Structure 1
């Protein structure tokens, strides 16, 4: 029996992602005007601004796929939003916070929501009359609880909610959020190609921060945090630095990556010097991140192949000097255990050595280590580097075994 895609689940997932992304748009565009306020997700509303006294601005964020929907007086989105606000004493109060409905749907001409649309002449009295009429006359079972709750409220509560409610209809869908963010981030002064990568980085950081907000693992976020993070990311695009866009993988991703690289030559070489399993996994991840990060840089013209080759050659020269020093310290009759220990010490020394960075302000250890593992991942002993004092003969034997 064929599986039927769960379109409702997909729409819900897109809605949640859109809510998180819209919060970033809100932070970038309105945050500078709210220096003393903070933002939270799913605390007082989908998105909320607050100060030390409590919420100041509550946002209901609605996303539709395909047909954009509408905000007619009988709209489910309208009445669900109203119920959310009426269910909370703070947002229901006459002097409560500002209320905003942000949606990809559209306000039909003559509707209550059109009368409250941002950018149009407000007609609060007409909006109240239309909502009262719809609450009394509509027959939808889905909106009945919200409409009944509306009619239970005194007129000053209903009028107060209308007076604080603004509607932003026709908002961009999730697949256009990237364009909106690029416009909001024009001030970083990057080229069009680099701006795309920059937005992806900032968006990924924001998604991680949103998880912490939703899990209540951190306090509400303030605008200067976002600006500060954007500044740090932007600095990665100057001539003395580079952006880090490939993050450490998750636990499940790590297991798959380690499995895929288990037979790489550099992994076998690390096995010859008895590197512990946990450090071996870190080495594989450093190698993987380096390959992925280099691909991103080259594709975005942030670094050229000549610069990378010169960097590899500089590290290879350092390795050659350290290799010679290790051999000089080994006694002629060194045991297998002494040779393994010497190779392990060389690996530790090369891994932990400071300096020799690709760019002066790009000092990510994973990249330097990853290049070392690239140098140790060549099959030809004449070109490869290694840690074990007899790695060249061991590598020739490994090559013979692989060709059989």
Structure 2
């Protein structure tokens, strides 16, 4: 069982993993223009890594600490655990190997060896001497193996190893990363819809990160990232309606349970709509209703545009409904009426249009809007739907 203490101890680790994932997006946006042929990965070569044609060129160890925690020193566990990772995986004796970056929210202690590995105040001889002395003098059990392995490299290999290491201390904490990502995307922010745009970029990145962490996707290249953020930006032009309610965001079982008693669901029950199709229809209703409300609230869509779309759907339905009425024989039993209604519903839901003023061709909007109109009793599937809908509204 997870105790309160366990949960508290796990929180910094969870925060660290999240920071690592977010930092990778910031890296991609910040440095992508300077590396057009590169790609970035998560947990492939290192926490975060840059590569070109599958060969790593830069490995990043990402360390996140809460405010107020002590400085990074030559004795820090973060330092020696990072060196251990690189000694195990990054061929430390190879002077031509990938650049090794320790990215930490801590500040390197003044006059320390790690401070001498900063880009702006670099002194590799001083750093090497300081790390050798720390490796020999420290007694902490947790860093013993790393210190022994470092000393075992010998002077020449230690020098080659140190020449590839850079410390990026005082890096932004996780709370600062969204602001920095926003700053990197300032050129793409659609006026008046900045938050929606950024939410869609983060959604895209979360999907990429999850695919990489599941080993289903190796990396994200710079070109793909540029195309993705530009493509999302294009959704905010006047000619397009940005879709923010994705199918993967919907708990279909919970939504079906919540809407089980709605009139549009009863409408489908009256024509014996199959259970799987019924559940899918409820999800379409939920997505379309939620998406349209979002568009209206954020002025992506005007009430007049929505009303025109509804009128077009109604006219198409009315014509097909009239054909169904004419084809039903006088005195048809309810089973025949059910089959006719189910056929009408099925045919209308697979029809490609009309579209929402040609600005959205998402099929779920068309299908869901049919159910919205059915929920209001404006359209229906059973030939006697109007009378049944009125009775339904009178029920306590």
After TM superposition, the score normalised by the length of structure 2 is 0.93
Give, in angstroms, the shift of residue 60 of structure 1.
0.5
Unaligned runs of 5+ in 1: none
Are the structure 2 counterparts of residues 359 and 209 from structure 1 closer, same or farther at C-alpha, using a change threshold of 3 Å?
farther
Counterpart in 2 of 1:235?
Answer: 234
Counterpart in 1 of 2:48?
Answer: 47
CA deviation digits over 1:135-161, x for unaligned, max 9? Answer: 111222222221121111122222222
Say if 1:246 and 1:292, in contact at 8 Å, map to a contact too: yes
**Structural mapping, 1:69-84, within 5 Å:** 69-84=70-85
* Matched residue SS, 1:249: helix
After TM superposition, the score normalised by the length of structure 1 is 0.91
Give, in angstroms, the shift of residue 250 of structure 1.
5.9
Counterpart in 2 of 1:394?
Answer: 388
Give, in angstroms, the shift of residue 126 of structure 1.
1.4
For residues 282 and 385 of structure 2, the distance between their equivalents in structure 1, rounded to whole angstroms, comes to: 19
Give, in angstroms, the shift of residue 349 of structure 1.
2.1
Counterpart in 2 of 1:27?
Answer: 28
Find 1:287's aligned residue among 275, 279, 285. Answer: 285
Say if 1:68 and 1:104, in contact at 8 Å, map to a contact too: no
Moved over 4 A (4+): none
For residues 200 and 69 of structure 2, the distance between their equivalents in structure 1, rounded to whole angstroms, comes to: 29
Counterpart in 2 of 1:107?
Answer: 108
Counterpart in 2 of 1:314?
Answer: 312
For residues 257 and 335 of structure 2, the distance between their equivalents in structure 1, rounded to whole angstroms, comes to: 28
Counterpart in 2 of 1:65?
Answer: 66
Say if 2:75 and 2:134, in contact at 8 Å, map to a contact too: yes
* Matched residue SS, 2:15: helix
Counterpart in 2 of 1:247?
Answer: 246
Counterpart in 2 of 1:385?
Answer: 379
* Matched residue SS, 2:4: coil
* Matched residue SS, 1:292: helix
**Structural mapping, 1:263-282, within 5 Å:** 263-282=261-280
Q: CA RMSD in A?
A: 2.2
Find 1:337's aligned residue among 335, 338, 342. Answer: 335
**Count of matched residue positions in the alignment of Structure 1 and Structure 2:** 395
Are the structure 2 counterparts of residues 19 and 271 from structure 1 closer, same or farther at C-alpha, using a change threshold of 3 Å?
same
Greater displacement, 86-95 / 277-286: 86-95
For residues 236 and 54 of structure 2, the distance between their equivalents in structure 1, rounded to whole angstroms, comes to: 40
Say if 2:90 and 2:98, in contact at 8 Å, map to a contact too: no
Greater displacement, 70-79 / 309-318: 309-318
CA deviation digits over 1:311-364, x for unaligned, max 9? Answer: 223322322222223222222232322211221122122211223222424211
For residues 290 and 206 of structure 1, the distance between their equivalents in structure 2, rounded to whole angstroms, comes to: 24
* Matched residue SS, 1:245: coil
Are the structure 2 counterparts of residues 30 and 61 from structure 1 closer, same or farther at C-alpha, using a change threshold of 3 Å?
same
Unaligned runs of 5+ in 2: none
Say if 2:49 and 2:60, in contact at 8 Å, map to a contact too: yes
Are the structure 2 counterparts of residues 262 and 87 from structure 1 closer, same or farther at C-alpha, using a change threshold of 3 Å?
same
For residues 197 and 23 of structure 2, the distance between their equivalents in structure 1, rounded to whole angstroms, comes to: 17
For residues 106 and 293 of structure 2, the distance between their equivalents in structure 1, rounded to whole angstroms, comes to: 40
* Matched residue SS, 2:375: coil
Give, in angstroms, the shift of residue 33 of structure 1.
2.2
For residues 313 and 114 of structure 1, the distance between their equivalents in structure 2, rounded to whole angstroms, comes to: 69
